[in-house]
Structure 1
Amino acid sequence: MSGETHGNGRPERPVGAGRSGGAGGGSPRAQHRRGDGGGRGRSGRPRQERVSPARLVAYDVLAAVRDSDAYANLLLPTRIERAKLSPADAALATELTYGTLRLLGRYDAIIALAAGRDVAAIDPPVLDVLRLGAHQLLATRVPTHAAVNESVALARRVAPSAAGFVNAVLRTVSRRELADWLELIAEEAGSADAALAAVHSHPVWVIRALRSALEREGRGDELVALLEADNATPRVNLAALPGLAADPAELGEPDRYAPTGLTADAPFDLVAANEGRVRVQDEGSQLAALALSRVAPVRPGERWLDLCSGPGGKTALLAAEALAGGASLVANEVVPARAELVRRAVAPVPLEVAVRVGDGRELDPAAMGAEGGFDRILLDAPCTGLGALRRRPEARWRKSPTDVAQLTELQGELADAAFTALAPGGVLAYVTCSPHTAETHGSLGRALARWGDAAEALDTAAVVQQLAEHPLDLAGDGRTVQLWPHRHGTDAMFIALVRKR
C-alpha cells in the first residue's frame, strides 16, 4: 500500500506517483472512486472547493518568487492587504510563505522520497502546492486532514489533473514524523555536507561558505547553530530614530545591543502610530549605521554620504544622527525606484537629505555639495545577502558561487570610489549583509592593500562595543566586526571602519 516501507526503510512509491509528468493520479473517474481528487460535480466540471485565503496568498507569493524573482518580504504585505486577511489569516499566510521558503530544500528532499521521483520531474505549480502542504504537515500545528485536504483543493485550482498525485504524496509524508524524514534524507545524501544541506535547507556551497567564515573565527563548531538560526522565525525588530521618537524603553522591550532598537507586541501598530519615526530595522543594521555616526563626536558642518542607500533604513538612522550633530547628509542610489524608497524613509526626519540617483562608482563630491570630500561615508555594499537568510529566505536559492566573483569586483570598485571621495581624516564604514569571507575580509583586504599607507583600519570592535548596551561576544582581531544570528540574534552584518590619512 502507499506509504508503507520496504525493508530498507525507504517509503514505497505512493499511488499515482509513477504516472508521467508529475501531474496525475490516474483517470478522473478512478480519482473520483478513490475520493483523492479530480472529482466532478453534476455539471461535469471539476469541483472547485474553497481554499482558505491565507493559503491562496502564500501560494501566490511562492509562485511570484519562482516565476518573477519577486522578493517575499516586499510582495507578501501587499498581497495580505489586497486579500483583506484577518490578523489570524495574515499570520498563517506569513508563516506558510516564509516557513516554506526557508525549508524548501528540506521539503524537496522529503517530497522526492515520498513521490519516488526527483522534484525536477514535478511541474513547478504542483511542487509549490506540495511544499506548502509538507510545511503544514511537518512544521505547524495544522491538523493532518486540513493540511492534506486544503492542499488537494489548492491543486484543483492550479493543476486540476494533479489533485490525486498531491493527495497521495502528502498522505505518504504524513505517515512519518519529521525526525524520521530527516534521518532518511540524511541517509540519502551523498556526503556529509549534502546531508547538512538537506536537513538544514541550505545549498551546499552556502554551507561551506558559512563554515569557512566561522572557522576563520575559530568557531567552526557553531555551524549547526547558525543553520538553525537561519531557519528560525525572527521577531520583528524596530528602530526608534534618536531625537525624534520616544526612548526605546518607553515604546517596548529595548534591544540587547543597539541603543536605538526595540521589539514590541504589536510592532506594525507602533510603526503606524509614530509616522516613520519608529521603523522596522534589524538590530545589526542599526549597529552598522551607528558605528559610523558614533565613531567620533560629530563636528557641526560635517558632510556625510550614504553611498548605496536603498531602500533607506540606514539612511533614516544616519539622517537622525546627522540632524542631532549638525551634519549634512547625501544619499546615493543607482535604482530610481529604490531612490524613491529612500526619499520616503527620510521624510520623517526634519533634515534636507539630497537623494541622488546614479552609479556609486562615478562620484563627484563637489557636485554633491562636498567640495574637498565627505567626512563620513557608509558603503553598505551590494552582496549575496547570506547574512539575512532568516528574513529573506529565498536569497539562498537565488544566489550561486558565480555571483560572488561578480559582487566582489563591484564591491572593490565601490570601495575605491568611496575612499577617493573621503576628505582627509574622513571615515569609511564598509558594511555587507553577508559573512562570506570573499565579500568581507577578501574585499576589504584587497582594498586596504590598494590604498596602502593612505588608509588606517580602525578598531571597529572597540567602537561597536562602546556604543552597544551590553558587551558583544566578538571574535577576530578587532579591526572588523562580524555579527551572527545564532550568537547575537542579529543578521550576519560585517562592519569595518577605515580612516583616510
Structure 2
Amino acid sequence: MSGASDSRRIAYETLRAVHESDAYANLLLPKSIERGGLDTADAALATELTYGTLRRQGTYDAVIAIAADRPASEIDPGVLDALRLGVHQLLSTRVASHAAVNESVELARVAVGRGAAGFVNAVLRRVSRDTPGDWMTRVAESARSDDERLGLLFSHPVWVVRAFRRALAAEGRTDELEALLTADNAAPRVTMIALPGLAEVPDDARRTPYSPLGFRLGGGDPEATIRESGGRLRVQDEGSQLAALALSRAMPIAEGERWLDLCAGPGGKTAVLAAEALNHGAQLEANEISPARAGLVRQALTGVPLDVHVSEQDGRARADESPETYDRILVDAPCTGLGALRRRPEARWRKSPADLPELTQLQGELLSSAIGALKPGGIVAYITCSPHLGETAGVMAEARREWGEALEELDARSVVTEIASADLALPPQSDGSGRAQLWPHRHNTDAMSISLLRRV
C-alpha cells in the first residue's frame, strides 16, 4: 500500500488484522513497526493511531453512523477502518484536518477502490465541519438509555458498563463509574518489576506506589534495560505483581514447600513466584495448556536460576492427578480480560455475555481442582484480570458452597494491604468476602481481583 504515510498505513493494517483475523494489537503492532523501520516519532504516531482508534471505536462508529446516515455495520469493513482512523485524527488528535481526511481517503482508495475513497472523503469532510463537543452531544442524544449513553460516549459495550456498575456497587462506589470508563481509554504507563532477590530497582527509576518490587523508568524503550538485566528487570503491571506476592507472602514460607502455578501463561507471575521460591527454599512447578504460551512461560523463567518444570496439560487434569500435594497454588484463571482494557482495547469488542457461562464454569472447575491438590493448610490464590462479579464473587461463592467447612477464606485485602508500600484504600465487599479488587482509575493498575483460600 503506497501513498499514505508509513505510520498511518501500519496503523490501518493493524486495525484490519485485529478485525479480520482476531489479531492482538499489542503483539502485532511492535513487529510491524520494526519491519517498517519507523523512526521514534513515526512509531509513536502509529501506536497512538492504532490504540486510540481501538479504544474509542464504539464512539467513532456512532459518529460515522450519523455522518454517513447509515449504521456502521452496513459499511464495508475495510472502508470502516479507514473512517475510524480518520475520525480519531479529527476528533482526538492535533493532526491537521486536511491530512487526516486526505490520508484516510488514500488508504481506502488503495485498499478498496475509488468508489470507497469518494465515500470516505464525503463522510470525513462532514465530520470535520463540527467540533468534537458537537459530535459528542449528537452521540449522547442518540442513546436510548443512560447505560447506552455511557457506552457510546466512553466506547464500552453496554453489558460491560453494567458489569462495571455492579462491581463498583459491591464496594458502594457507583459514583466512580465514569472515572473507571475514562481510565480504560487512557494509555497505561509502562510499569516494570525487579525480581525479588535477583535484581534491584535502578537508582534512576521511580518506584511505584504500591508494589515493593515495581518501578517506572524516566522514558525510552525498556527493552535495553530488560536485555542488560538478563530478564531480571522486566515489564509487569503493578496489579499482577501484587497478585503473585499475595500468594507467596500470605503466610511465612517453610523450606521445602511445593508450589504450583496452574494457568501460568504467559509467565509474568510465574517468574515472580520462582524468584520468591528460590529465596526461601521452596519448589515451583508450572502448567499451561497452550504450547505457545507454555513457551512464553519458559522464556519468562530464563532470568531465574531455579529448575521449574512446565507441563502442558488442562489445568483441571493437572491438579486432579496430584491430590493434597501442594502448599500453594496460583489459579490465574482464563477470563474476559475486562480488567486490562487499557492495554488490550480490542478485548471489549470480542467478548459478550454469552461467553460468561462457559468461562465461569471453567474458572470454577479450575479452582475446585486446585483446592483438591492442596495439602491441608495449603493456600490457593484465585486471580482474574476482570472485576466482573460473575467471574470473581460468583466463582468464589460456588467454591465455598462446594467445599464447605473444608475451606477457609483469608482476608486478601489485609494481605495485599500489608504487602503494599502505600495505602490501597481497599473497601470491603458487599458479600462479606475478603476479596481484594484493584482498579485502573483508583490504583493505576489493571482491574485485578485477588482472593485467597486455605484448605482446612
TM tier relative to shorter chain? over 0.9
Choose 268-277 or 80-89, whichever is displaced more.
268-277
- Determine the C-alpha separation between the residues in 2 that align with 1:318 and 1:421: 18
1:343 aligned onto 2:298: yes
2:64 counterpart residue number = 111
Where do 5+ consecutive residues of structure 2 fail to align? none
1:121 aligned onto 2:99: no
2:98 pairs, out of 120, 127, 145, with: 145
Q: Alignment identity in percent?
A: 60
1:366: Cα distance to partner?
6.8
- Determine the C-alpha separation between the residues in 2 that align with 1:365 and 1:114: 57
1:208 aligned onto 2:162: yes
- Determine the C-alpha separation between the residues in 2 that align with 1:113 and 1:206: 23
Do the aligned residues in 2 keep the contact of 1:229 with 1:486 (CA within 8 Å)?
yes
Do the aligned residues in 2 keep the contact of 1:307 with 1:380 (CA within 8 Å)?
yes
2:331 pairs, out of 372, 379, 384, with: 379
1:173: Cα distance to partner?
1.0
1:416: Cα distance to partner?
0.8
Per-residue deviation, residues 399-445 of structure 1 (Å, max 9, x unmatched):
00011111000001101110000111110000000000000000011
Do the aligned residues in 1 keep the contact of 2:261 with 2:286 (CA within 8 Å)?
yes
- Determine the C-alpha separation between the residues in 2 that align with 1:366 and 1:397: 37
Where do 5+ consecutive residues of structure 1 fail to align? 1-47
Q: State the one-letter code of the partner of 1:451.
A: W
2:369 counterpart residue number = 417
Do the aligned residues in 2 keep the contact of 1:365 with 1:372 (CA within 8 Å)?
no
Do the aligned residues in 1 keep the contact of 2:320 with 2:369 (CA within 8 Å)?
no
1:254 pairs, out of 207, 222, 225, with: 207
- Determine the C-alpha separation between the residues in 2 that align with 1:429 and 1:155: 49
Do the aligned residues in 2 keep the contact of 1:333 with 1:356 (CA within 8 Å)?
yes
- Determine the C-alpha separation between the residues in 2 that align with 1:233 and 1:193: 24
Do the aligned residues in 2 keep the contact of 1:205 with 1:401 (CA within 8 Å)?
yes
- Determine the C-alpha separation between the residues in 1 that align with 2:2 and 2:332: 48
1:61 counterpart residue number = 14
Do the aligned residues in 1 keep the contact of 2:201 with 2:215 (CA within 8 Å)?
no
Do the aligned residues in 2 keep the contact of 1:366 with 1:372 (CA within 8 Å)?
no
- Determine the C-alpha separation between the residues in 2 that align with 1:258 and 1:349: 20
1:275: Cα distance to partner?
2.5
1:91 counterpart residue number = 44
- Determine the C-alpha separation between the residues in 1 that align with 2:152 and 2:320: 49
Q: State the one-letter code of the partner of 1:91.
A: A
1:478: Cα distance to partner?
6.1
Do the aligned residues in 1 keep the contact of 2:263 with 2:332 (CA within 8 Å)?
yes
Do the aligned residues in 2 keep the contact of 1:365 with 1:373 (CA within 8 Å)?
no
Q: State the one-letter code of the partner of 1:439.
A: E
1:225 counterpart residue number = 179
- Determine the C-alpha separation between the residues in 2 that align with 1:285 and 1:222: 22
Q: Report how many aligned residue pairs link the two structures.
A: 450
Question: In the TM superposition, what are the counterparts of 1:257-272 in structure 2 within 5 Å?
Answer: 257-264=210-217, 265-266=219-220, 267-272=222-227
Larger Rg over CA atoms: 1
2:4 counterpart residue number = 51
1:426 aligned onto 2:378: yes
2:424 pairs, out of 472, 475, 485, with: 472
Question: In the TM superposition, what are the counterparts of 1:292-441 in structure 2 within 5 Å?
Answer: 292-363=247-318, 372-441=324-393
Question: In the TM superposition, what are the counterparts of 1:152-171 in structure 2 within 5 Å?
Answer: 152-161=105-114, 162-171=116-125
1:208: Cα distance to partner?
0.4
Do the aligned residues in 1 keep the contact of 2:288 with 2:313 (CA within 8 Å)?
yes
State the 4+ residue runs in structure 1 displaced beyond 3 angstroms.
364-367
- Determine the C-alpha separation between the residues in 2 that align with 1:300 and 1:309: 23
- Determine the C-alpha separation between the residues in 2 that align with 1:271 and 1:176: 46
**Structure 1 length normalisation: TM-score?**
0.88
C-alpha change, 1:330 and 1:365, in structure 2 (3 Å) is farther
- Determine the C-alpha separation between the residues in 2 that align with 1:149 and 1:202: 29
Q: State the one-letter code of the partner of 1:186.
A: A
